[in-house]
Amino acid sequence: MSKTIKKIGVLTSGGDAPGMNAAIRAVVRTCAYHKIECVGIYRGYQGMIEGDFKEMGARSVNNIINKGGTVLKSARSKEFQTKEGREKANQHLVAAGIDALVVIGGDGSFTGAEIFNAEFGLPVMGIPGTIDNDIFGTSHTLGYDTALNTVVEVIDKIRDTASSHNRLFFVEVMGRDAGHLALNSGIGAGAEEILIPEENLGLERLLESLQKSKASGKSSSIVVIAEGDKIGKNVFELKDYVDENLPEYDVRVSVLGHMQRGGAPSCFDRVLASRFGVKAVESLLEGKSNFMVGLLNDKIALTPLEQAIKGNTEIDRELLRVSEIMST
C-alpha cells in the first residue's frame, strides 16, 4: 500500500515553455486545497542535487499565471545522469520530507523521473511542457499553443516586408526532432512550403514548387523550415542553393530562435496547465505513480511514463496535403 503523501516537490526541467508557471501555480494550489505541503525545487534536477528548495504556499504563486518562462528556473543536469548525483538528490529530498514529485518538462525530464523512481521508490508524476509538442500521450504539450501563436504573429510581420520587396523568406522555427510547430504555424501563416524532420521533400521538389509559384504570379513567398529538417541542408545553405538555382528569387533568411519559447502563455495553455496540475497532484494523492498527465480527446488522462518517453507522436499527414493545396 502506498504511504500517505504529505509533501510534494515540484520542478521544471529541460527547455522552458510558456505555461510552466501556470502549471507550478496549479500544483502549489492543489496541494494547498488538499492541505498538504508543497516545495518548489529550483533549476530542475540540478537544484534537487544541491538541495535548492523553497516551501511554496497558495500565496507564493500569486501573479504568475500570465508569465512566460519558469519562476523555478530550468536546467539540463548532467550530474543527475550519474548514480552519485541521484543519490545526493535523494538525500536532500529525504531530509526535506518530500514524499512525491511532480516533474514539468519533456521526455528527457521524464526519463530522469522514471530512473529516480526505480532507484528510490519516490512516487513521480509528469506534466508535459515543451513547445515542440513531441510527447506521446497528449495532443498538446504546455507551451505549444503559445509558441504557434508567436510564430504566426512573427511570420505575419515577415510577410509584410517579404511582399514589399518581392522576396522569398526562409523562416527557421524550433523543433529539433519534430515538425508539429513548423507544420501548423506554416499552414496558419500561409507558407508556400513547409520542411519538417519527419518528411524529406527533397531539394528538387522545393525548386519545382518555387518555380511553379513564381509562374502562377506570386511575387513573394514564405518557406517555413523546422530546425531539424531532413532535407540535409541548414537554412543558410538552402538560401545559397536557391540563390544558385533560381536567380530570379531575392532570398532572405530569418531564424526565429529562442523568442519562440518566451512570452505570456495563451489562454489555452493556462487552462491546460491548471487542469494538468490538479490531475497530477490528485493522482499522486490517489496513490498513483509513474504516469504523465495529458490531454486526449479533450479529457485529461494518464499515460504510463514509460510509454510517454518511448512513444512517437505522429505528424498529421493530412496537414501536409492541406498545405500543398493551400500553396496552389
Tell me if 123 contacts ligand F6P by CB under 6 A.
no
Question: Smallest distance, Å, CB 130 to ligand F6P?
Answer: 5
Residue 291's closest CA among 281, 68, 299?
Answer: 281
Examine residue 114 and tell whether it contacts ligand F6P (CB under 6 A).
Answer: no
Nearer to ligand F6P, 123 or 175 (CB): 175
* Cell numbers linked to 2: 502506498
Q: From residue 252 to residue 281, what is the string marking binding to ligand F6P with x (rule CB under 6 A)?
A: ---------x--------------------
Q: Min. distance of Cβ 238 from ligand F6P in angstroms?
A: 18
- The residues annotated as belonging to the active site are 132
* Residue 308 contacts ligand F6P per CB under 6 A: no
Q: Cα angle at 212 between 211 and 218, to 5 degrees? A: 90
Nearer to ligand F6P, 25 or 180 (CB): 180
Options 44-52, 150-158, 168-176, 279-287: segment touching ligand F6P (CB under 6 A): 168-176
Residue pair 292/127 in contact by the 8 Å Cβ criterion: yes
Please report whether residue 130 would count as binding ligand F6P according to CB under 6 A: yes
Burial 156-182 (b: 16+ CB within 10 A, else e): eebbeebeeeebbbbbbbbbeebbbbb
180 binds ligand F6P (CB under 6 A): no
Q: Name residues whose C-beta falls within 8 Å of residue 51's C-beta, 6 or more positions apart in sequence.
A: 92, 95, 96
Cell match 535523494: residue?
Answer: 90
Measured distance CA(69)–CA(52) in Å, rounded: 18
Tell whether residue 321 is a contact of ligand F6P (CB under 6 A). no
Q: How far, rounded to the nearest angstrom, does the alpha carbon of residue 282 sit from its chain's CA centroid?
A: 23
What is the Cα–Cα distance from 290 to 102, expressed in whole angstroms? 10
Per-position x/- string for 136-155, each x denoting binding to ligand F6P as judged by CB under 6 A, each - no binding: --------------------
Q: Footprint of ligand F6P on residues 214-243 (CB under 6 A)?
A: 227
Binding of residue 105 to ligand F6P (CB under 6 A) = no
Residues that bind ligand F6P (CB under 6 A): 15, 106, 130-132, 174-176, 227, 261
